[in-house]
Structure 1
């Protein structure tokens, strides 16, 4: 679940020159436009990012941001339900959308001359969505089925969901992006209409364009289509501070499954909350030491030793609120969860007690940098990075600093963040306790069996 993708060190031999600059514009109605030229192919990626996601929601309406994402394809006065997608396809493009904890975004990839098609459609649905009641009823059923398939019928996913709910007490990160089933069942049209009017406005949106374009021409198109839209009195959500933890939290999730599973998480700062700017970058490197390719410590010392069939680590510094430094594993044949947890704890102790060696640190940093450089080769990823950083409140400029910041991390800093943040008072542990499955049954987990919290 937490595996990362890295490329070989050979990629560093010919790193591309720095990416083209980002051109930043703000329209009179508050809409932000970010444009980067990339002339390698006659294509353009256009993305519209809204500052709203599951972390903006409160109990009773969880999942509403994701449902609204679905409803954005259900028509305006100018465009019938489904017509948006048909127009994009007729112009040879592809499109989709995604909801996260801190954002909702919509994208199209088109031939360069078709950018105006995207702008015209996105501007229309930014303020003119109809939200028909019959379409909402159908789409809520679609989302509920999506939840059943991806979470409730997947024992590891249900374990991870309950793990987050235990790790966070006051933070909205305790809620799943897709929402809790009981909230989806009770979602009202009035709630959705209010959510749309509250957050879908030009002064709460960032439009990102990357591709074979001229920034001034993109600005002219943005003024033409987005410029006439009215702003909204958007009130940013309060930044919720998670209550201090006192001791390890443990949960056991009982569900029909074939294999046990373990996930551990330590509360950790992110770039928006860290006391010192270098700490999140040191945590990124620490994650790479544990799980940065086949030579990293978890695959080489835990998996190859026959303790775990798979083990991973992960950390994301680009969040709006405090997050978790994660480890997860599945035991190897003949091994139990206790042995796996002991092996992971041994790796954590080692990081605290011994500074990482110079050669290992250099290798891990090179791999982390190579991964970032590899992803930047994609115009879609470039737009993703720009939009995400801007929307969570970091500013797109952070992406330009990433490689330099990672290369500056020292062994002492890695050891310091391990000692400071990988502590029991920050730790939550969840284990999946597999329950027998009947003949022909799949490993369902949704609501079947107890959920014990210790």
Structure 2
């Protein structure tokens, strides 16, 4: 299950982190005790306001702070051709003033209260968060609620922010050969799924974007009945609910919020390949197989088996890719595997690699395909599977010590339609995965007919091109 905040403009949701290191579980806590600790879960208090806003509150008294996040069910996968990037630009404009708080006031007040704030846009949602002293939570409540309906969207600020986003795109995608390869890769892998488009938007769409497009997008999706408020920290749930009613309760809902079309990805009928030419020092490879997500899997266990499979290949120094491709044969300087199964649409199982100097990209590709073939031929051993499961437990313990992680997990699962309660099932479902199930999903889904391969073909690097630091930080 993907577990970290993406930066704005990144084309993933919450990426998979199954573990920090098995060392944490092995040295500090026996597996049985670790499992019990993970299962001792503080309840989530769920409320719903009359205007449709859902409120989730989880008490965590380990630090005198509160994490408040407001999640909107809208992201780049809701956008249509010609309007890509709208969700991300709205995110930027949320910091450019309301009728009540002019541009700059939001950040000034947050800073004066010793808090931090930011936002992120992903494929399936946009979220805004503050980390603040628990006793000052009301300050964040008042400020954030004002932005739900009160943005002024001044044309001058819009024009400036679009240029900021375009600069962000250049720095994060167009000037990063691996990121550019990833963008081209997903555009080829997905034909009809909206995951085809980058979260930050295509440059042509950013060039053509109008403030009227932005206003229509904001008015359509930014509403209490399309949002989830999450608060985790040293708070009293009943008090949080009263504050939510005070500040969010008066907001008017939007009637008839559009239900996104299914946009089901067409069935792939054979291998797809793409070569990306860009200035780079070394070649790079990405391989993506079409796989189900938790939202559409025919068998409930399949996404968890794919999740474990990814960790077998790439779950720390003892994983297969690290042992065999990086340290063993020394043919790859980088090799990774990841699975994204908790989006609102099916995604990809991705393998990637970069050869060491002197090695050919084809050698790395062959080695990665051999790893897949090995998983299809032979079930994983009991010892290897136990190691991965121990990593899951260690990762869960480590991450649940973070109030911000807890809030993010609740908000993301709720926003994609899986429901926050799924988080409590994760460990049990991972622990239930068998070697036979891992072999079964490898045979069923990691097949050539559902495979897309992107290769980065390095081009000469211009030594005179300036390497400017980004200037788009809010």
TM bracket (short chain): over 0.9
Conserved 8 A contact 1:42-1:212: yes
Q: Over residues 191-220 of structure 1, what are the superposed CA-to-partner deviations in whole Å (9 max), with x where a residue is unaligned? A: 101000100000000000000011100000
Q: What corresponds to 2:375 in structure 1? A: 351
Q: Secondary structure at the match of 1:41?
A: coil
- How far, CA to CA, are the matches of 2:135 and 2:16 in structure 1? 38
Q: Over residues 145-186 of structure 1, what are the superposed CA-to-partner deviations in whole Å (9 max), with x where a residue is unaligned? A: 000001001111100100000000000001000000000011
Q: What corresponds to 1:263 in structure 2? A: 286
- How far, CA to CA, are the matches of 1:248 and 1:381 in structure 2? 37
Q: What corresponds to 2:112 in structure 1? A: 90
Q: CA deviation at 1:3?
A: 8.8
- How far, CA to CA, are the matches of 2:60 and 2:157 in structure 1? 39
Q: Does 1:272 align with 2:295?
A: yes
Q: TM-score, with normalisation over the residues of structure 1?
A: 0.96
Q: Does 1:52 align with 2:66?
A: no
- How far, CA to CA, are the matches of 1:224 and 1:6 in structure 2? 40
- How far, CA to CA, are the matches of 1:115 and 1:359 in structure 2? 47
- How far, CA to CA, are the matches of 2:131 and 2:142 in structure 1? 14
Q: Does 1:139 align with 2:161?
A: yes
Q: CA deviation at 1:443?
A: 9.4
Q: Over residues 43-84 of structure 1, what are the superposed CA-to-partner deviations in whole Å (9 max), with x where a residue is unaligned? A: 000000000000000010100000000000111111011211
Q: What corresponds to 1:308 in structure 2? A: 332
Q: What corresponds to 2:21 in structure 1? A: 7
Counterparts in 2 of 1:319 and 1:198: CA distance versus 1, 3 Å: same
After TM superposition, list the pairs within 5 Å mapping 1:314-325 onto structure 2: 314-325=338-349
Q: CA deviation at 1:123?
A: 1.0
Aligned equivalent of 1:253, options 273, 276, 283: 276
Aligned equivalent of 1:107, options 107, 129, 137: 129
- How far, CA to CA, are the matches of 2:199 and 2:322 in structure 1? 30
After TM superposition, list the pairs within 5 Å mapping 1:4-403 onto structure 2: 6-11=20-25, 12-13=29-30, 15=34, 16=37, 18-233=40-255, 234-304=257-327, 305-403=329-427
Conserved 8 A contact 2:224-2:253: yes
Which portions of structure 1, spanning 4 or more consecutive aligned residues, are displaced by more than 6 angstroms?
A: none
Q: Over residues 86-131 of structure 1, what are the superposed CA-to-partner deviations in whole Å (9 max), with x where a residue is unaligned? A: 1111011000000000000000001011111111111111011100
Q: Secondary structure at the match of 1:318?
A: coil
Q: What corresponds to 1:413 in structure 2? A: 437
Q: CA deviation at 1:189?
A: 0.9
Q: CA deviation at 1:438?
A: 3.2
Q: CA deviation at 1:369?
A: 2.5
- How far, CA to CA, are the matches of 1:257 and 1:334 in structure 2? 15
- How far, CA to CA, are the matches of 2:218 and 2:410 in structure 1? 24
Q: Secondary structure at the match of 2:129?
A: strand
Q: Over residues 382-410 of structure 1, what are the superposed CA-to-partner deviations in whole Å (9 max), with x where a residue is unaligned? A: 00000000000000000011011100000
RMSD between aligned alpha carbons? 1.5
Q: TM-score, with normalisation over the residues of structure 2?
A: 0.92
Conserved 8 A contact 1:292-1:368: no
Q: CA deviation at 1:425?
A: 1.1
Conserved 8 A contact 1:95-1:107: yes
Conserved 8 A contact 2:77-2:194: yes
- How far, CA to CA, are the matches of 1:294 and 1:317 in structure 2? 24
Q: Runs of 5+ in structure 2 lacking a partner?
A: 1-11, 469-474
Conserved 8 A contact 2:282-2:357: no
Conserved 8 A contact 2:294-2:342: yes
Q: Secondary structure at the match of 1:61?
A: coil
Q: CA deviation at 1:442?
A: 6.9
Conserved 8 A contact 1:3-1:313: no
Conserved 8 A contact 2:22-2:387: no
- How far, CA to CA, are the matches of 1:412 and 1:144 in structure 2? 48
